[in-house]
């Protein structure tokens, strides 16, 4: 039984994803700087350094794992082939297939080289056409992204949540902290469509609901984002949802609206108006920065055009629970019947395909 030529050629870490020798030298430099007791005198610079260190170490470890497991699997396969053990040969084949998938993902992660890809990010969920159904669907999306983040050892902080009138949520914003959080989650921006038998319909009819997810990176103070205070309207209101008597009885929640662009952000998770205002300004700077990134990207979609209507004709992905089970991405055509897995955060296949498509489009544009 011949062994498929998966990862059978010599690895090449030079000039591909990143230059191997310079990467090792840079990691040594970052490790040395991380031991400097004065590093944390500048917390922002320290955090930036630690993020770069973690990202580079992860890439190097991925290459080392591929080399090690590839060598082990091929050695195991040669022994199985010499002994005529087809069962063990099949096991070696499966190991190489799994390693191929891991290598593909590692390559994509290494290609997350946008200036904000490594940053933490905000994910904003809004319900759309469909009333109570869409509010419930928005809550399901919030849960889906929270579970995805948790599965990838990322931290999730709820920034703002507005309950639906009957069930679910009208809107919510979370902050996701982790390596390449923005790089991966930016592929999820768009309108998501759900088809199912309504749990709120006594007649058990099938309903179609819409909700949107918009993603923008957390930016640090060293990135210059000029905002004229006179262009920003500030509104305060009582926080909704849980949070204690103090939160619910004072106008502690803050909403900022950038009048020239119409971009609005809100924060209500902190106990004081001052803290919520500070967080809201960070979010507004991040939103404006994301808008600038979108204008600069060669393959950027007209995001604001897509956001005009959370409904038919604007969706990036469909989740069908009735009359059959199917989740399909309308950009990449990737689909799966494992709807439960997807709604529980198994989104990697969709993110990887979308990211690969964007990387490929960028390369083609560069060649042109």
Residues 194 and 249 in one domain: yes
Q: Do 127 and 41 have their domain in common?
A: no
How much is the pLDDT for 362? 54
| Window from 7-16, 110-119, 257-266 with minimum mean pLDDT | 7-16
* CA–CA gap between residue 271 and residue 252 (Å, rounded): 7
**Choice between 336 and 58, residue whose per-residue pLDDT is larger:** 336
Same domain, 101 and 181: no
- pLDDT digit string (tens) for 31-74? 999 999 899 998 878 888 887 888 788 888 888 999 999 999 89
Phi/psi of residue 112, each to 5°? -75, 75
Mean pLDDT calculated for residue range 89-108: 85
Are residues 103 and 196 located together in one domain of the fold? no
> Do residues 157 and 100 both lie within one domain?
no
Looking at the structure, tell me whether residues 60 and 34 fall in a common domain.
yes
Q: Which residue has the tokens 């030298």?
A: 25
Q: Which domain holds residue 48?
A: 20-110
Rounded mean pLDDT of the chain? 82
Please tell me whether the overall predicted TM-score, pTM, comes out greater than 0.75 for this model: no
> At residue 331, does pLDDT exceed 60?
yes
* Shared-domain flag, residues 224 and 78: no
Q: In this structure, what CATH number is given to the domain that contains residue 144?
A: 3.30.70.1660
Q: Which of 213, 364, 219, 184 is nearest to 293 (CA)?
A: 219
Kindly state the average pLDDT of the residues 11-19: 45
Tell me which of 78, 110, 142 is where a domain ends: 110
Question: DSSP for 2-29?
Answer: PPP-SS-SPP--SSSSS-HHHHHHHHHH
Residue found under tokens 């470890």: 61
Q: Are residues 216 and 354 in the same domain?
A: yes
With respect to residue 13, please indicate whether it lies within any of the assigned structural domains. Answer: no
Let me know whether 260 and 348 are in one domain. yes
Per-residue burial over 167-200, b if 16 or more Cβ lie within 10 Å, else e, is: ebbbbbbbbbebbbbbbbbbbbbbbbbbbbebee
CA dist list (Å): 66 to 21, 28, 76, 106, 352: 17, 21, 15, 10, 19
The closest of 337, 361, 360 to 349, measured between CA atoms, is: 337
Which of 57, 86, 110 is where one domain is finished? Answer: 110
CATH number of the domain enclosing 60:
1.20.58.410
Q: Are residues 248 and 315 in the same domain?
A: yes
Q: Between 254 and 6, whose confidence is greater?
A: 254
Residues 64 and 193 in one domain: no
Domains of the chain: total: 2
The pLDDT value recorded for residue 285 is: 86
Please write the tens of the pLDDT for every residue from 263-300.
899 998 887 888 899 888 888 988 888 877 776 664 34
């Amino acid at each position: 039984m011949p062994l498929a030529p998966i990862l059978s050629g010599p690895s090449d870490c030079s000039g591909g994803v990143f230059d191997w020798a310079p990467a090792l030298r840079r990691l040594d430099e970052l490790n040395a700087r991380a031991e400097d007791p004065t590093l944390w005198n500048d917390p922002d610079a320290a955090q930036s350094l630690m993020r770069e260190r973690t990202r580079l170490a992860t890439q190097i470890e991925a290459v080392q794992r591929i080399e090690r497991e590839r060598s082990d699997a091929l050695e195991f396969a040669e022994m199985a082939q010499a002994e005529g053990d087809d069962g063990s040969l099949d096991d070696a084949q499966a190991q190489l297939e799994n390693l191929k998938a891991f290598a593909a993902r590692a390559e994509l992660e290494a290609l997350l080289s946008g200036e904000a890809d490594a940053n933490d990010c905000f994910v904003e969920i809004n319900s759309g056409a469909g009333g109570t159904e869409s509010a419930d669907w928005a809550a399901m999306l919030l849960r889906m992204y929270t579970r995805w983040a948790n599965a990838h050892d990322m931290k999730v902080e709820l920034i703002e949540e507005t309950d639906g009138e009957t069930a679910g949520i009208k809107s919510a914003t979370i902050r996701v902290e982790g390596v390449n959080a923005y790089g991966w989650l930016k592929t999820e921006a768009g309108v998501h469509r759900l088809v199912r038998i309504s749990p709120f319909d006594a007649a058990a009819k099938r309903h179609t609901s819409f909700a949107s997810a918009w993603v923008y990176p957390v930016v640090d103070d060293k990135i210059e984002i000029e905002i004229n205070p006179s262009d920003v309207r500030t509104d305060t209101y009582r926080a909704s949802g849980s949070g204690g008597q103090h939160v619910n009885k004072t106008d502690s929640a803050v909403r900022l609206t950038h009048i020239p662009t119409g971009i609005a952000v809100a924060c209500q998770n902190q106990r004081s108006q001052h803290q919520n205002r500070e967080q809201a300004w960070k979010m507004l700077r991040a939103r404006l920065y994301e808008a600038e990134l979108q204008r600069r990207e060669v393959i950027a979609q007209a995001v604001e055009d897509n956001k005009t209507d959370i409904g038919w004709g604007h969706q990036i992905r469909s989740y069908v629970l009735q009359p059959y089970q199917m989740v399909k991405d309308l950009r990449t055509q990737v689909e799966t019947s494992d709807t439960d897995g997807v709604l529980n955060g198994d989104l990697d296949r969709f993110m990887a395909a979308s990211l690969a498509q964007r990387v490929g489009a960028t390369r083609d544009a560069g060649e042109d």
